[in-house]
Amino acid sequence: MATEVLQQVPEDNIQKKPLAISFRLLLGVYAIIPICLLLQLADSQLWEGYLKEALPTSPNHFVFFNILFGIPHIIASAIVMTSNVEYLKTFKVKVIGMTLALAVFFGFGSQLLPYYFLYILVASWTVLHVLKQQHGLARGVCRLSERQFNIQLYLSIAAGILVYIGIFLKNSLSPTEVLVINSIVAILSIALLVSTFSCQKSVPTRFGKAFLWANAFLVFSSFYLFVQQYYFLAILVPRLVHDITAYIFYVTHDYNRHCDKPRNFIYRGAKKIGLSVFLVLPLLSFALAFGLQQYGDYICQVLIEFFFGVEIRRVITLVFIGYLSLMHYYTESFTWKGDSPYRQFITFTK
């Protein structure tokens, strides 16, 4: 779930909903930052680097991690969009247009453009998606001006993209290139530190200041863990913060939309079997994530070979989930804005 601006609506302008999103809960998700930093400190000082050697470069290397984080919230996003007819009617032109654009771009791009160019493009979009969500939330609490918001956001994005590239292309980079990346990210981090100190002067509450600094430390901690070569933890920090935050929105939305009266076939079916509205989306999205990750490629490959006599690998985990991910990045940039039908089922509390 990414949003350009998720501003807190004054309470007298909100129709109360059964379930409200707590900004304190959203801020509490950032507790993953000190936890990961303590793990790194314990590993370097007490465990003689055992954790660093045992962990892979990325959490994506753990199938179990992808089943718990990343893919479920992307599937949940797709379920919210496609299972509600009015949402499809509202956004169908954008969805169809982007689907065609992605098919054309990656269809031709995979043949004409260098792999690293496509990789960096997708990586940059991923970082933009993750950080725009967190900064959009913070803006609603901190009440930053447009200029302050953009400075904080794009300093963070620039640093985040370089850290991402430094981690996932580390085997392709020379020592000089790594030094250049580290130096640029260090400069960007210093600029972000100065900007955060400057912005906090205009933030009216301590709670708002805490949210402002939480987003800054999201970047600082990833950079520090990257320099210390704890690549898994450097990726884990923003992934967990982003994914858990997004899931809070999806579950809250569906609970408020369907708790009184089921409005689509999924929740009508859940009501018939007595399944709690609160559990429907999590169970469905986690089950689909597990099925697609574990069995999707095999089943798809068998069917393609049977009907067409050709062998195509990773149709589900690469092509289908890749498509869902990119569409998720795109649709979440507008589905949670103030004029979206999604927002009538979301309210906030401090």
Read off the pLDDT of residues 246-256 as tens digits, 9 standing for 90 and up. 989 999 999 99
- Buried b / exposed e over 68-85, threshold 16 CB at 10 Å, is bbbbbbbbbbbbbbebbe
How far apart are the C-alpha atoms of 39 and 166, rounded to whole Å?
Answer: 21
| Structure confidence at residue 217 (pLDDT) | 95
- Is the distance from CB of 254 to CB of 280 less than 8 angstroms? yes
Cα–Cα distance, 285 to 78 (Å, whole number) = 9
State residue 250's pLDDT score: 93
Q: How far apart (Å, rounded) are the C-alpha atoms in residues 58 and 56?
A: 5
- What's the pLDDT band for 78 if we cut at 50, 70, 90? very high
User: At 82, is the secondary structure helix, strand, or coil?
Assistant: helix
- Tokens linked to 90: 């509202």
Nearest-angstrom CA–CA distance, 275 and 142:
38
pLDDT value, residue 68:
66
Q: Which residue has the higher pLDDT, 16 or 45?
A: 45
The whole-angstrom separation of Cα 333 and Cα 129 is 8
Contact 233, 40 (CB under 8 A): yes
What is the spatial distance between Cα 93 and Cα 318, in angstroms, rounded to a whole number?
A: 25
- Predicted local confidence at residue 215, as pLDDT: 94
Q: Kindly give the interhelix angle for 231-258 and 277-291, rounded to the nearest 10 degrees.
A: 140
What's the whole-model pTM score? 0.85
